[in-house]
Amino acid sequence: MAPTPTMEPLSGEDEWRRMEREHPVMRMTRNDKEAGMDYVNTPHVVAMVGLPARGKTYIAMKLARYLNWVGLPTKVFNVGDYRRQALGNYQGHDFFHPRNRDGTNIRNKCALDALQDVCEFLQTGWHGGGVRCHQHQHGAAEADL
């Protein structure tokens, strides 16, 4: 397949490296040296990654519903929702092609934005633990987190 204007041979690696350096989530640090850290009450993240239409959203929502029911505050962050909010509902199949530089950059930005929201939720959200489900559709190798 010959590259089109939106499908360049480079995979957007330069743009990804720039986002890696500049995105706020990449500058966050973890403080696990606190005295008496209690891993039972420490927030947890469940990451669902896989191919399209394999039940990631279904399982994440069912898990969140159950954990909320038993009293563990839980929230689902779906990277697809961030992408649909940025671009609308339908993107053609070319949007997900690994050589589509614009699509790769948008997917990476949406993934980082969702991860930033997860990190902010962990830092400022529920006290006493909780679970967050971060869902990401498996795509090109360089787009996965």
Under DSSP, is residue 124 helix (H, G, I), strand (E, B) or coil?
Answer: helix
Residues 12-42 have pLDDT tens digits of 677 777 777 777 766 666 665 555 555 566 7
Write out pLDDT tens, residues 73-93: 788 999 889 998 988 877 788
Q: Position of tokens 């330069």?
A: 14
Instruction: Note the pLDDT of residue 59.
Output: 95
24 lies in a domain? no
Helix (H, G, I), strand (E, B) or coil at 64: helix
What is the Cα–Cα distance from 25 to 122, expressed in whole angstroms? 12
Looking at the 3D structure of the chain, how many domains does it have? 1
Distance of CA 8 to the CA centre of its chain: 25
What is the end-to-end Cα distance of the chain in Å, rounded?
Answer: 27
Query: Per the confidence metrics, is the pTM higher than 0.85?
Result: no
Look at residue 39 in the predicted model and tell me its pLDDT.
59
Higher pLDDT, 24 or 8: 24
Residue span of the structural domain in which 62 resides: 13-19+42-143
- The CATH number covering residue 128 comes to 3.40.50.300
Question: Domain for residue 100, yes or no?
Answer: yes
Q: Tell me whether residue 2 is in a domain.
A: no
- 5 part of a folded domain: no
Question: How many whole angstroms separate alpha carbon 50 and alpha carbon 96?
Answer: 14
Predicted pLDDT of residue 23: 72
Identity of residue 112: L
pLDDT tens-place string over residues 46-69: 888 888 889 999 999 999 999 889
**DSSP for 69-89?**
HTT--EEEEEHHHHHHHHH-S
Total residue length of the chain: 145
29: in domain: no
Residue 93, domain member (yes or no): yes
Question: What's the pLDDT tens digit per position in 113-145?
Answer: 998 888 887 777 655 455 555 566 655 444 444
CB 131 within 8 A of CB 46: yes
What is the predicted pLDDT for the residue at 63? 93
